[in-house]
Structure 1
Amino acid sequence: MFIPHLTLVGAGPGDPELITLKALKAIRNAAVILYDALANDTLLEYANPDAITRFVGKRYGCHALSQHEINELIVGYAFSHGNVVRLKGGDPFVFGRATEEIDAARQAGITVSVVPGISSALAVPASQMIPLTSRGINESFWVTTGTTQSGEISPDIALAAKSSATVIILMAMSRLEAIMDIFNANGKGETPVAIIQDGTTPKEKIVLGKVKDIYFRSLHAGLANPSIIMVGDVVALHPSLITHYAGQQNMLTRVAEKR
């Protein structure tokens, strides 16, 4: 007799090596794995050969199944096979709609556990050597989604644009121009911006710029989802920018010495 159970597992930001040991153990012990588009499918190599693996494609612009259908699969497989793993990109509780799946399982009498994952909001900037906070530059960071459930730009964007915090915006490439207009309207036109696509993977691409020009730079580079948008003075600490500014400073020093 199967004991129905759901484990929500964070698959990390994309690099399959950025997953926890506890997450790998959960994958190995799963009878069924329902995985997202943002979860690296090479992680399925750790699954039991007899396990059912099913793609349920949840990310912006990619919905193989509705959330209601996914909930029904979780409940159905839990009762028919026992241990179901819901493998989600990043961390299950960072814009992962985990609470909806937990509610569906609990209402059906299914026990639930969670294995946290490394969120792309933290790992992707780190992979590019950009800190979220740095002493003397900022004291906090925001992580926000670009749009609300209705598709409108989140009102938190306007609040974040008024602060000195680093702002990480997820799932927002389709509204990039309008979002940068909000920052520009709050006097942030010269604030550095980084957009990182497919972070921590071999396909990773990055475009650096400022609020006033990042939209056009991203268009020229052909950036698309999945990307994170990072706005804040800490972006200037990216190694390429440090080298650039250091080179400019050295040139100015040499000119001054000649005088």
Structure 2
Amino acid sequence: MAEHPAYPVGLRLTGRRVVVLGGGQVAQRRLPALIAAGADVLLVSPEATPSVEAMADAGEITWARRRYADGDLADAWYALIATSDPEANAAASAEAERHRVWCVRSDDADAATAWTPATGHSEGVTIAVLTTHAKGRDPRHTAAVRDAVVEGLRDGTLVAPHHRTRTPGVALVGGGPGDPDLITVRGRRLLAEADVVIADRLGPRDLLAELPPHVEVIDAAKIPYGRYMAQEAINNALIEHAKQGKSVVRLKGGDPYVFGRGMEELQALAEAGIPCTVVPGVSSSVSVPGAAGIPVTHRGVAHEFTVVSGHVAPDDERSLVDWPALARLTGTLVILMGVDKIGKIAETLVAHGKSPDTPVALVQEGTTAAQRRVDATLATVAEAVRTHEVRPPAVIVVGEVVTVGPREPE
């Protein structure tokens, strides 16, 4: 048997009896997939791990709390032998052979009639990697091959085009704070499958260089606005390309719904009858402070954090922020898009009760190679912005958490 390669096959186990002998770590790893496949699982073991016991308690498997006995495999279609008793394993394997039941042996792969491949999943596809021959089997190598294929499919570095007709539409993808590694795997995969990408300047620009040559990349800042407002023109561009039957990705910095106007785009697409998928992104409000060594919450220091937009000053009639209320909070205040208004914001917070000595950190170009951090207080932050020439994009953190972590060298 060892001279011939294994024959790969997918078993459809829905409603079919599968017998698992042994309730230890091997069973704990294998049972979830068998349950997901709809198998009628009988576990035979005097003991089981807490996780396996929980599966039995939930009714996902049937547990016979005893040792293996001859006849246990008579009605099985498939068996997994994973006990710590070599004699019981050998006897069960012999029974499986008599009843022509495909049998996996965790203790002796050479004596088994079936092997469990290293498996992974990506968008409705199961990737199974199997060593060809018994001689020289290396489970770690097969697992590494599996991981590389699955990761490549998920992050878009391994592109497997869909040959069936795709439904045109738009994906609003949050690109994260700037580091291309911080986009979600789903976002990266959708980018790899896109025909058109309409990108913000704050999106992870390095990802655009990885796109195939046929992908049309449109800078949202350069869309001709004409008689339209900027956002309306972007909405129209999304609709126009989607109606041409193209797969469109709207690549946005951070998260589409955190000061990203994603809902406006979703509403415009819905009114036009264009299907839309929203892919959340890592928000700069949390990730950028974290990258600069600042936790937005910390035990004994801050039990809350509040994120506000600073794109309009506190005394501007368009402002929807209750600045006096924020001044009374004891937690962390994170301000986005507020670099040019930070002087007025600091004055307002102090006027309504915040201490002028409250620590402030400004993190510019967070998570990128150009990241830098400038520390100040509410009393000095306006001058610090001028002296250090802090420019957008920058995240501003106000609160005692600024002093918790190690400071970056200036």
Per the normalisation by structure 1, the TM-score is: 0.86
1:67-119 CA distance string (max 9 Å, x none):
00000000000011421100000111100000110011111111111111111
For the aligned residues, what is the CA RMSD? 2.2
Q: Please, which runs of 5 or more residues in structure 2 have no aligned partner?
A: 1-164, 223-228
Match 2:388 to one of 210, 214, 221 = 221
Residue 257 of structure 1 corresponds to which residue in structure 2?
none
1:31-110 matched pairs, under 5 angstroms:
31-57=195-221, 66-110=230-274
The amino acid of 1:210's aligned partner reads T
The answer to whether the 8 Å contact 1:146/1:157 transfers is: no
Cα distance in 1 for partners of 2:305, 2:396 equals 13
1:151-162 matched pairs, under 5 angstroms:
152-162=318-328
Cα distance in 1 for partners of 2:287, 2:306 equals 14
Q: Please, which runs of 5 or more residues in structure 1 have no aligned partner?
A: 59-64, 244-259
Q: Does 1:168 align with 2:334?
A: yes
The alpha-carbon deviation at position 44 of structure 1 amounts to: 1.2
**Which stretch shifts more, 25-34 or 78-87?**
78-87
Residue 282 of structure 2 corresponds to which residue in structure 1?
118
Cα distance in 2 for partners of 1:87, 1:2 equals 20
Q: Does 1:200 align with 2:364?
A: no
The answer to which structure has the higher helix fraction is 1
Cα 1:174–1:161 change in 2 (3 A) is same
Cα distance in 1 for partners of 2:402, 2:269 equals 41
Aligned residue for 2:181, secondary structure, equals coil
Cα distance in 2 for partners of 1:229, 1:153 equals 18
The alpha-carbon deviation at position 4 of structure 1 amounts to: 2.9
Residue 9 of structure 1 corresponds to which residue in structure 2?
173
Residue 246 of structure 1 corresponds to which residue in structure 2?
none
Cα distance in 2 for partners of 1:126, 1:187 equals 24
The alpha-carbon deviation at position 208 of structure 1 amounts to: 0.4
- Moved runs in structure 1, 4+ residues, more than 4 A? 148-154
Aligned residue for 1:208, secondary structure, equals strand
Residue 108 of structure 2 corresponds to which residue in structure 1?
none
Cα 1:97–1:85 change in 2 (3 A) is same
The alpha-carbon deviation at position 214 of structure 1 amounts to: 1.3
Cα distance in 2 for partners of 1:187, 1:172 equals 18
Aligned residue for 2:407, secondary structure, equals helix
The answer to whether the 8 Å contact 2:308/2:321 transfers is: no
Residue 183 of structure 2 corresponds to which residue in structure 1?
19
The amino acid of 2:345's aligned partner reads I
Per the normalisation by structure 2, the TM-score is: 0.55
Aligned residue for 1:239, secondary structure, equals coil
Aligned residue for 1:17, secondary structure, equals helix
The answer to whether the 8 Å contact 1:31/1:48 transfers is: no
Count of paired positions: 237
The alpha-carbon deviation at position 156 of structure 1 amounts to: 2.9
Aligned residue for 1:230, secondary structure, equals strand
Q: Percent identity?
A: 35
Residue 192 of structure 2 corresponds to which residue in structure 1?
28
Cα distance in 2 for partners of 1:226, 1:97 equals 17
